[in-house]
Amino acid sequence: MSTLTILLVLGLLLVVFGLLFRIQILTAIFSGSYVRQIGTSNRVNALLMLVFMVVGGAAFFWSFAENFGKMNPPIASVHGHAMERMFWTTMIVIGIAFVITQALLFIYSYKYQHQDGRRAYFFSHNNKIEVIWTIIPAIVMASLIFAGWKAWTRITGPAPKDAIVLEVMGKQFNWLVRYPGRDMKLGVVNYRLIDAANDFGFDLSDKAAADDFVASEIHVPKGHPVLIKIRSRDVLHAVYMPQFRVQMYAVPGMPTRFWFTPTTTTDEMRAKLGNPKFNYELACNQICGKGHFAMKLNIVVDEPDDYVAWFAAQSPISKNADLMASYKQMSQQTGLGKGGSQGAKASAIEETGESPAPLAAQASL
Ligand SMILES: [Cu+2]
């Protein structure tokens, strides 16, 4: 309490001194004895404005040119080109406005530095200027937004019916991936069934869940639409695949999605870049916690035949003994799944337990 009182007294003293100082200046001005000292700092500051514009501007353009390759990875999806056009159109328009306004800001600061005897021209209102600087930006911004809205609507519209479906779930701190099995239907999951072995919370009383499989990397076929269903298990993450120009939030409690068509296989991209170690990557680009940097996953774009072969070689979750055991235990504890409220039978697992061998549904690839 006494500390607070001391601080309060000190604060009030400062205010009193400030007011006394101000009164002294005002008295000097009105008595005519006040001489304003401009000094050299006025000119130095004005010159520094120009220096900052030239040096800062040069550094900005240098860093932009130097990192252009990193900001602009090669495009490997169909919609990526539309996205790219939209992005660069916007960048050019706002870039021109940025350069003009910033240059004027610094040049005018130099030009209109203090000079004895010079007074600023004051006007309270000018309709012509108001109209110009309202209408021109309004037309430009509305055009950009309309073009962007049209492209974005097309990109994020419903996926084609024959799209490959997979689900990506973000969690602190990695990505989990699951594919529907040969029934091409993602099975039911329930967060209450999640444990160390059952990462997704598969509800195996659902027939469609039993032949789902989880994968340690994403495989997608070249030239075929891919629908990624996106979920988060804990906090906000984001699915970011730079070469495919895919970016979508993974939101807890609110499933999102994004579909795209890859155009270049991993091998083709390696040859194109001359980098045999290149891999497409799914990275989280939301700072989601201390292990955020580790949230990445390889993506392999296969030729369609290779993709079908990879798909056929995957083992359904019902073949995973650990997962089965943990599911049985969890379903007994929670009353979910087997004999639970959903009423379905866990024996569905045995019915569809074999490997997803010939993939009739994939024959169209
Ligand atoms: Cu994340």
pLDDT tens readout for residues 308-345: 999 888 888 777 777 777 777 777 777 666 544 443 43
SS3 207: helix
**CA-atom Rg of the chain in angstroms:** 32
164-362 CATH, one of 3.40.50.11240, 3.30.390.50, 2.60.40.420, 3.40.50.2300 = 2.60.40.420
Between the CA of 310 and the centroid of ligand 1 the distance, in Å, is: 27
What would the pLDDT profile of 161-179 be if each residue is shown by its tens digit? 888 999 999 999 989 999 9
Closest CA to 318 of 341, 346, 283: 346
> What's the gap in Å between 303 CA and the centre of ligand 1?
30
| Ligand 1 centroid distance, CA of 299 (Å) | 17
Three-class secondary structure of residue 303 per DSSP: coil
Q: How far is the CA of 238 from the centre of ligand 1 (A)?
A: 6
The model's pTM is 0.73
List, by residue range, all CATH 2.60.40.420 domains of the chain: 164-362
How many angstroms separate the alpha carbon of residue 208 from the centre of ligand 1?
Answer: 28
Separation of CA 288 and ligand 1 centre (Å) = 5
Closest by Cα among 326, 321, 322, 317 to 348: 317
Instruction: Label residue 357 by pLDDT band (50, 70, 90).
Output: very low
Confidence band (pLDDT; 50, 70, 90) for 365? Answer: very low
pLDDT tens figures, 225-266: 999 999 998 899 999 999 999 999 999 989 999 999 999 999
pLDDT of residue 345: 39
Query: Residues with beta carbon < 5 A to ion ligand 1?
Result: 237, 284, 288, 295
Helix axes 80-111, 127-155, angle to 10 degrees: 160
